[in-house]
Amino acid sequence: MRAYERLLKYARVYTTSDPNSGTHPSAEREFDLAHILVEDMKAIGIEDAFVDEHCYVYGTLPATPGCEDKPALGLIAHMDTAPDASGENVNPILHENYDGSDVTLPATGMVMKVSAFPFLASMKGETLITTDGTTLLGADDKAGVAEIMTAVETVIREGRPHGKLCIAFTPDEEIGEGASLFDIPGFGADFAYTVDGGDAGSVEYENFNAAAATVTIHGFSVHPGSAKDTMINASNVAMEFHGALPVMARPETTEGRQGFYHLCQMYGDVTEAKLGYILRDHDAAKLQFKKDNMQDIADYLNGKYGDGTVEVEIKDSYRNMLEKIKPHFHLVETARKAIRMAGLEPEEVPVRGGTDGARLSVRGLPCPNVFTGGMNFHGVYECIPVKSLDKGAEVAVMLAKKSAEVTSLQ
């Protein structure tokens, strides 16, 4: 089975994670895909595949004869999809022999314009998978799941030599919890790669440092007819707080290694208002400045409106993996070789986001990221070429091949 066929199957399973649940997994529906994957893994020859009580799927493929002493390679992807757009009743659309022009999404009539997404023109003649316009596609990261499954099936079917292969599929990556309960000792890998996002050919080993902030504003409500010098409108104070943050440090005004404050949620009334932010920066010191700045704004507003008016709660999410990858840079060099063996040129750019691999690297499992080949993640314009899925699976096969040639972990 080709990777795109698996993606079409897995994309239809509703696995959106829930950032507000506080449970592991965040949504019971994530088990639906986990159970399917266990069955599929056993069907291709991963006999010990299982899903644990927290919805982590694990399985191993023992080393082939003569490769038992080689380092164990891990391949990891996440099953959940982002809550930014609906992931329920996904209906993937195949555009065969795509002509390179604007794409109309059939269920809504929404149009993916080449003028907005110039990469579309370069895909003329390929088979493109899109949404129908009502949901996201879920290639982030079910494309990674499909590519790993296809790669392992290829390795088994063709009898390719390999060291021990450790496979894992995680829940809740999209809400920053994918690595929280990952069983690194039980997984059994010496090093690993996440297969998650990125243009075809990309290998990524530098990502954002990340935190999440919740700002709660407590107002004081009185009748508006007699409110002068008495009312504290929580919604107005919330707008004042947000207005104090720099406009040029938002996702829509930054790129490359520039960090940002991203307002993800806001709601409230006169009595209480809440603002939900994510904070990102590749530089840990600059992320700390952003956290301190938010507290400084709160302190200023509390001085203006009274102690306890504004509360800021900040939680760290993940760290830049670069410091943990540098001592194991052979992983990046191996990925470069695998990508070239698949006929692509490696592309290395800092990730403006995070992966399970970032947190796993910090926890002691070095884990850079290789591409899936999808684009426009987290929305209805998400898409992926079939060719990129094939190449992603091929790179995973080449990683298995190269792991069988490794003589040292350094």
Is 126 part of the annotated catalytic residue set?
no
The packing angle between helices 139-157 and 3-11, to 10°, is 140
Catalytic residue among 80, 172, 190, 204: 80
Q: Name the 3-class secondary structure at 383.
A: strand
Is 269 part of the annotated catalytic residue set?
no
Euclidean distance between CA atoms 403 and 409, whole angstroms:
10
Euclidean distance between CA atoms 128 and 204, whole angstroms:
24
The packing angle between helices 3-11 and 386-403, to 10°, is 110
Sign for the pseudo-dihedral over CA of 194, 51, 157, 191 = positive
Give whole-number Cα distances, 9 to 12, 95, 143, 330, 383, in Å. Answer: 6, 17, 11, 35, 15
Phi-psi region of 38 (alpha: psi -120 to 50; beta: other; left: phi over 0): alpha
DSSP string, 225-263: GG-TTT-B-HHHHHHHHHHTS-TTSSGGG--TT--EEEE
Tell me the residue type at 400: A
Torsions phi, psi for 342 (to 5 deg): -90, 5
Catalytic residue among 140, 147, 173, 204: 173
**61 within 8 A of 188, measured Cβ to Cβ:** no
The residues that are catalytic are: 80, 173
